[in-house]
Amino acid sequence: MDCDLPYIMKDKDRHGNIRFYVRIVGKPKVRLKDPPGSSTFLKAYTAALDALKKDKKTVEATDTLGWLVGQYFKSHPFRQLDGRSQRVRESILNECLAEPAKIGHPFLMRDVPLKMLEPKALKVLRDRKAKTPGAANNRVKAFRAVMKWAFEAEHVKTDPFNGVARLQYQKEGFRAWTSDEVKQFEAFYPIGTKERLALALMLFTGVRRSDAVRLGPQHVKDEILTFATQKTSTELHLPILPELRAIIDATPTGKTTFLVTEYGKPFAVAGFGNWFRERCDRAKLTEVSAHGLRKAGAVIAAENGATEKQLMAIFGWEDAKQAAHYSKSANQKKLAKDAMHLLVQPGSS
């Protein structure tokens, strides 16, 4: 007779009978008189566990996943993340901890003892988000970070989630603007408008919208924009192109940010995204987005001959694969243009 519920301990009485108890560190154990597997056993187990956890004197168990994640939140690797990344990861992990560990079991992921953790536990958490693969993979990424730190800190002897793969899926992403779409936006919003400035900031610097809303006069020295990106903290030094300088000078701007709301305040990232989306719709550009401008800049630079290293420097990419994607596409287009005449046989009409 055995039982795989957490906080369960067993011993033998003097007659050799197996006895089961619910025991939480720092609290008295509670005897469960009915046999495991019965409905009365599960009911008694749940009641005992609830009573022990409601007791304010309960000492937090140091062998559970909940405790481990709590320690991770205090760790150096977690504190090194930027504020937004910390909030996102904390939200993901806390959401997972509050979910049932198994279908039909009363205990939560936070209560699972570390010694009982197996790859299938993370697979369950991942697959609960299978309809949104990005969210599913974010769960895998978050727990991989926890276990990497836990192993280095010697809280676990092995990584119980090692080998759990992310879901494979086709990521569509945001497509790049075409040159015609850029011209259409520019025709609708002339130089001097806030909309044109927003377009120019993203198109002529390649920054994400999270950086576009933060850039201001204080980042400019000798016509060089110097700042650390919001997403990766990568420090960039970008010359201000004459085209961008002309638009900045012709547009009302804020004291600390070039882009400001109708109330003269800096944009929040989400607020700016909604505002720019609505402005694109007004110009009858319903298929493009702010993020697509960053891609458009990469396409333009690559087609104008930018090397992979130059693309990485402009866009703050640390992974050469992203730069190689645009470089390869540009090279293919140029090679095809130069070689298409070879498909025609000499002398054919």
- pLDDT of the residue at 57: 47
- pLDDT of the residue at 337: 75
| Residue spans per domain, the chain | 8-54, 65-152, 179-337
- pLDDT of the residue at 72: 95
Give the CATH H-level superfamily of domain 179-337.
Answer: Intergrase catalytic core (1.10.443.10)
- pLDDT of the residue at 322: 67
For the full predicted model, state whether its pTM sits above 0.85.
no
Asked if residue 96 lies in contact with residue 125, where contact means CB atoms within 8 angstroms, the answer is yes
Starting from the edge strand earliest in sequence, which strands make up the sheet with 235-239, in order?
220-221, 224-228, 235-239
From residue 193, how far is each of 181, 186, 236, 252 by CA, in Å? Answer: 18, 10, 27, 8
- pLDDT of the residue at 68: 93
Mean pLDDT for back-to-back runs of 10 residues, the chain (349 residues): 69 79 70 82 83 58 85 93 87 90 69 86 90 90 94 90 80 74 95 96 88 94 91 85 94 95 91 92 91 82 80 75 69 71 66
Radius of gyration in angstroms for the set of CA atoms belonging to the chain, rounded to a whole number: 29
- pLDDT of the residue at 27: 64
Amino acid at 250: A
- pLDDT of the residue at 111: 83
CA–CA separation, 270 and 254 (whole Å): 19
Asked if residue 201 lies in contact with residue 246, where contact means CB atoms within 8 angstroms, the answer is no
- Kindly report each contact of residues 318-324 with a partner whose C-beta sits within 8 Å and lies 24 or more positions away, as own/partner: 318/232, 318/234
